[in-house]
Amino acid sequence: MLRNDTVAAYLEIKDLWKAFGEFQAIKGVSLAIEQGEFICFLGPSGCGKTTLLRAIAGLDLQTRGTILQGGKDISALPPSRRDYGIVFQSYALFPNLTIEKNVAFGLENTKRPRAEIAARVDELLTLVGLTAQAKKYPAQLSGGQQQRIALARAIAISPGLLLLDEPLSALDAKVRVHLRHEIKELQRKLGVTTIMVTHDQEEALSMADRIVVMNQGVIEQVGTPIEVYRQPRTLFVADFIGETNKFPVEVVSPREVAIAGAVLDCAPHQLASGVRAVAVVRPVDVVPYGPNTGDVASPGNLIEVSVTEMEFLGAFWRTRLAADRLGQQGLVADFSINAVRRLGIAAGVSMRVELPDERLLVFAG
């Protein structure tokens, strides 16, 4: 879902602060989330993402600031009076209740008729593909199945907001990839506004409509997965999202920097000439060339390199390069299997690579 600023936000967070004693976990966070969006709070451990989620849930009330849901101020409401379902990393299923009883738990508290509850439970178990497990207990299910049951229980009462606190981190890699696709499909089908906390950038990039990148209690950037990956606004975002090569540089002009004395073209920036800065380029953006160079987008950024090391990572080769033009700093490049085969790239080979100017980004040091 693309953000439309003309649409009123479903969830609004205004100047939110949260302190634990002298420690400020959240510092003046403001954010607007639309109806039906899938939002990921992404950042390293201790950045404030879980604290922000718990403030939205009312589990840890903010020190100051306002939270509006559907135009209603919920800032001081207890969790029981807020309209959300939540899924934790630990699943938090009741071990002594069957799967169908776990899913029915929240519905029974609403005093609905027994037949209506049974029909809703059956509908939800069908939705998550676990009707055959209804009479089993949580310990009899795999981690992925338990997480699907936790998800079914969270959406049983049709909440306006679904909160997911690192729901996949306890699962192995293959199950995690499969389940994140299932969760995204389910969220689209239900149209429920969803916030997921994660430290896994791949998870956020593959699932979110928008990513909220957090660092030390503040929001560094909010944008679509493509925006935060291709157009990071800060050095932290560039470094945290995906792999990067970082070079200390001196700014020459709004479109040029000097790395170890060599002047290279770069993406436009606002830094003054002579300022010390940091330039970054992603390994995937380094373009390999054979003897016949052909058309080069940035001829001034074509550099001679030697291959020092190659690491096979399945879909590509991570390649370490040495370049006199870059001084003592090495360069990491990710080359496709086809490119490696076609150009004969191997350890010890000399070749040329391009650092495309639009992908060489410059930030204050």
Backbone torsions φ then ψ of 132, nearest 5 degrees = -70, -15
β-partners of residue 350 are 306
In a domain, 6, yes or no: no
Task: Print the domain residue range for 275.
Answer: 243-364
Q: Check which CATH number belongs to the domain holding 263 and give it.
A: 2.40.50.100
Same domain, 225 and 165: yes
**Model pTM?**
0.91
Nearest to 272 by CA among 148, 144, 364: 364
Same domain, 23 and 122: yes
Quote the pLDDT of residue 294.
Answer: 64
Chain-centre distance for alpha carbon 20: 26
Quote the pLDDT of residue 2.
Answer: 45
List CB contacts of 67: < 8 A, sequence separation 6 or more.
Answer: 11, 12, 13, 14, 16, 55, 56, 73, 74, 75
Point out the domain boundary residue: 206, 239, 272.
239
Residue 110: pLDDT band (50, 70, 90) is confident
Report yes or no: 62 and 24 within 8 Å, Cβ to Cβ.
Answer: no
Pairing of strands 193-198, 161-165: parallel
Point out the domain boundary residue: 239, 256, 282.
239
Average pLDDT of the chain, as a whole number: 93
Provide the 10 A C-beta neighbour count for residue 316.
18
Same domain, 152 and 196: yes
Task: Say how far apart CA 49 and CA 215 lie, in whole Å.
Answer: 9
Query: What is the pLDDT averaged over residues 11-31?
Result: 97
Point out the domain boundary residue: 202, 217, 239.
239
Task: Say how far apart CA 255 and CA 272 lie, in whole Å.
Answer: 11
Quote the pLDDT of residue 327.
Answer: 83
In a domain, 61, yes or no: yes
Same domain, 150 and 108: yes
Same domain, 233 and 302: no
**pLDDT surpasses 70 at 277:** yes
Same domain, 143 and 110: yes
Same domain, 148 and 219: yes
Using CB atoms within 10 Å of the CB of residue 248, give its burial: 0 to 12 exposed, 13 to 18 middle, 19+ buried.
middle
Q: What are the pLDDT digits (tens) for 321-351? A: 999 888 878 999 999 999 999 999 999 999 9
Task: Say how far apart CA 181 and CA 171 lie, in whole Å.
Answer: 14
* Number of separate domains in the chain: 2
Q: Check which CATH number belongs to the domain holding 93 and give it.
A: 3.40.50.300
Alpha-carbon torsion, ordered 154, 160, 166, 171, to 10 deg: 40
Query: What is the pLDDT averaged over residues 202-221?
Result: 97
Q: What are the pLDDT digits (tens) for 66-80? A: 999 999 999 999 999
In a domain, 359, yes or no: yes
In a domain, 96, yes or no: yes
Scanning the structure block, which residue is given the tokens 């906390």? 197
Quote the pLDDT of residue 293.
Answer: 62
Q: Which residues of 177-193 are buried (b: 16+ CB within 10 A; e: fewer)?
A: eebbeebbebbeeeebb
Q: What are the pLDDT digits (tens) for 291-310? A: 766 667 778 899 999 999 99
The one-letter code for the residue type at 58 is: G
In a domain, 111, yes or no: yes
Same domain, 221 and 182: yes
In a domain, 353, yes or no: yes
Same domain, 262 and 174: no
